[in-house]
Structure 1
Amino acid sequence: MTHTPADQPSAPNPEQLREQIEQTRHDLGQTVQALADKTDVKARTQHKAGELKEQAVVKADELKAQTAKATSQVQDKLPDPVKDKAAQAAGQVRATAAQAGRMWEKKAPAPLRQKAAQSAQLARGHRTVLLVAAAGVTVLWLTSHRRKKG
């Protein structure tokens, strides 16, 4: 069986070939870029860390709101004598902490004081995270404490 010229597709002209080559180059470039992105572990890690940080901030805000609500509810339910007693205890704790700090300054070795100062500086730098964590623990404790009573 022989083929007639009508059965064969017409050969592409030079302009069509250039367009096909350009399209192939474009597709190949995209494929190479996608592979490069997959192999760039550092960039992927940074991207994931950014996502996790954003999620942590959202969760911290939620916990902060829940803690404020729980604190308000607890304070509303406390009788005045208990509030007064708590204020007295807080004052005593502050005085004792100040006394312990003075004793620490007198008796602790210099390298240990320096390390403690660095740790305190780090804690101050991450105060929000520490406060949110403490608030979360408080909320969990209050929630579990209420369930035990209820």
Structure 2
Amino acid sequence: MTQPPHDEPTATSPEELREQVEQTRTELGETVEALAAKTDVKTRAQDKATAAKEHAAVKAGELKTKAADLAHQAQDKLPNPVKDTATHAAEQARAKAARAGQLWHDKAPQPAQQKTAQAAQMARDNRNLLLAAAGAAVLVWLTYRRRG
């Protein structure tokens, strides 16, 4: 039998001894559980990946909002003739894109159309990720432009 620690009084009754044993078992169980959690590399990696994914989603939302705000601010600063020209250019671009889409539909082979449709659907499904990447690219470009 081992000696009790000097800072703890020994049990005076069998009931106290049982309580001390139960408390020691509980503490030992918690310690083993904590050590097992620290050695579970897969779970820790998954937890870190989940946290990183959540952080990226938050940042993407912030960048999206910031980009939209900057676009609105830039648009508000434009004089009316420039706004009208931009609106007209956008309408022309939409019309040309519609004509190009129709030409693509008429001339492209079916497998190419299917692959393109899949890529477009994937882009729509991952719009936030694409917007975040575009926002990051713009920020990098602006940073290098200011330094250069």
Fold shared per TM-score above 0.5: yes
Distance in structure 2 (CA, Å) of the matches to 1:125 and 1:45:
26
Task: Give the letter aligned to residue 33 of structure 2.
Answer: Q
Distance in structure 2 (CA, Å) of the matches to 1:47 and 1:10:
43
Provide the residue aligned with 2:108 in structure 1: 108
Residue pair 2:67, 2:135 contacting (<8 A) in 1 also? yes
Give the TM-score, by structure 2 length.
0.72
Classify 1:12/1:109 alpha carbon distance in 2 versus 1 (closer, same or farther; 3 Å).
farther
Task: Tell me which structure has the larger Cα radius of gyration.
Answer: 1
Instruction: Report whether the alignment pairs 1:66 with 2:71.
Output: no
Residue pair 1:60, 1:132 contacting (<8 A) in 2 also? yes
Provide the residue aligned with 2:31 in structure 1: 31
Provide the residue aligned with 1:46 in structure 2: 46
Provide the residue aligned with 2:98 in structure 1: 98
**Identity, % of aligned positions:** 58
Distance in structure 2 (CA, Å) of the matches to 1:65 and 1:78:
20
Provide the residue aligned with 2:4 in structure 1: none
Residue pair 1:70, 1:139 contacting (<8 A) in 2 also? no
RMSD value, Cα: 2.8
Give the TM-score, by structure 1 length.
0.71
Provide Cα deviations, 1:100-121, integer angstroms capped at 9, x if missing partner: 2222223333333222222211
Residue pair 2:60, 2:131 contacting (<8 A) in 1 also? no
Classify 1:10/1:53 alpha carbon distance in 2 versus 1 (closer, same or farther; 3 Å).
closer
Task: Give the letter aligned to residue 14 of structure 1.
Answer: P
Provide the residue aligned with 2:6 in structure 1: none
Residue pair 1:67, 1:136 contacting (<8 A) in 2 also? no
Structure 2 runs not aligned, ≥5 long: 1-8
Distance in structure 1 (CA, Å) of the matches to 2:10 and 2:42:
50
Matches within 5 A, 1:83-94: 83-94=83-94
Instruction: Report whether the alignment pairs 1:77 with 2:54.
Output: no
Distance in structure 1 (CA, Å) of the matches to 2:80 and 2:11:
95
Structure 1 runs not aligned, ≥5 long: 1-8
Q: Offset of 1:14 from its aligned partner?
A: 2.5
Q: Offset of 1:51 from its aligned partner?
A: 1.7
Residue pair 1:123, 1:130 contacting (<8 A) in 2 also? yes
Task: Give the letter aligned to residue 118 of structure 1.
Answer: Q
Count of equivalent residues: 139
